[in-house]
Amino acid sequence: MSLTIGAGPLASGAPKTVNYTIDSPRHSLFMEPFPRRVRAEVAGRTVLDSDRGYLLHETNLLPVLYVPDDDIRQGLLRPSDHTTHCPFKGDAAYRHITVGERFVRDAVWSYPEAREEAYWLRGLAAVAWDAADAWFDEDERVHGHLRDPYHRVDTRRSSTLVRISVGEAVVALSANPVVLSETGLPNRHYLPPDDVRREFLTPSTTRTYCPYKGGASYWNIRVGDREIADAAWSIPNPLKDGHDVRDHFCFLHDEVTTTLERA
């Protein structure tokens, strides 16, 4: 993500604050080995098992795992007549996955005659992330996507006074926030639960998952007759990178005002 999205060097909006130029098309490809074993399961069967994978970083896209074709269970694949064309990689051929009565259409793609500038894709194949029921990085189950080695999350304690308000109502006020800095994103201020007026919050059914921080539960804000859906989130059971913001609240919505005052 940090290489290909936002202000990353391979993003379409790469920064000007450099003393070099990259001699490449505006749409760039960069592939490197992925250092751990990865497995994917469909209907309880392992369809991909590889410790020879590569991450393909591509402008404005999340990284994609490619593995040697032999590391995908060939007996579970069926040919497809579907094809797509990429002006940077070439023509992609697709295959279906069949496990018992489970059929996943066009789940695997490859570039058997990849363009010369992407010749290293020949002999490799990718399984669509959503095609598998479960993915594992070594023995840990992965949700969302594989972690990008160039993406990081840092947290720092701060004395900045953070005020969250809706109109005249102060929903939260904290002089002890945690600043979370995440590659490619603006800083987020996470507030301790004791500094949030919970009478303004009602649980939402919305859930999201971040491969770096973990699963987030969302909250609505109700002030009088006014309700703002999904205006805040918290991470009750974070992954390693989210430990410092466990159960803290982060607010982000066009109808919510965040004011920062430095001590």
CA-to-CA distance for 122 and 110, rounded, in angstroms? 8
First to last CA, the chain: 33
β-partners of residue 141 are 136
pLDDT at 12: 72
Tokens 């023509």 map to which residue? 91
Question: What are the start-end ranges of the E strands in 111-261?
Answer: 124-127, 134-137, 140-142, 153-157, 161-166, 169-174, 178-182, 188-190, 201-210, 214-223, 226-234, 250-251, 257-261
Rounded to two decimals, what is the model's pTM?
Answer: 0.85
For 187-201, what is the mean pLDDT?
97
Residues 227-243: pLDDT tens digits? 999 999 999 999 999 99
pLDDT at 189: 98
Residues 106-138: pLDDT tens digits? 999 999 999 999 999 999 999 999 999 999 999
For 20-27, what is the mean pLDDT?
67
pLDDT at 208: 96
For 206-235, what is the mean pLDDT?
96
126 with 185, same domain: the answer is no
**The pair of three-digit structure tokens given for residue 161, joined into one six-digit string:** 């006074």
pLDDT at 22: 67
Q: In which domain, by residue range, is 161 found?
A: 153-261
Last residue within a domain, chosen from 87, 120, 142: 142
pLDDT at 184: 83
175 with 251, same domain: the answer is yes
* Residue 45 CA: distances (Å) to CA of 106, 110, 132, 133: 18, 21, 10, 10
Q: How many domains does the chain have?
A: 2
Select the more confidently predicted residue: 59 or 218.
218
Last residue within a domain, chosen from 97, 119, 142: 142
159 with 108, same domain: the answer is no
135 with 171, same domain: the answer is no
Pairing of strands 188-190, 54-58: unpaired
115 with 205, same domain: the answer is no
pLDDT at 24: 60
**The pair of three-digit structure tokens given for residue 36, joined into one six-digit string:** 């751990």
State the CATH number of the domain containing residue 248: 2.170.150.40
122 with 206, same domain: the answer is no
pLDDT at 10: 74
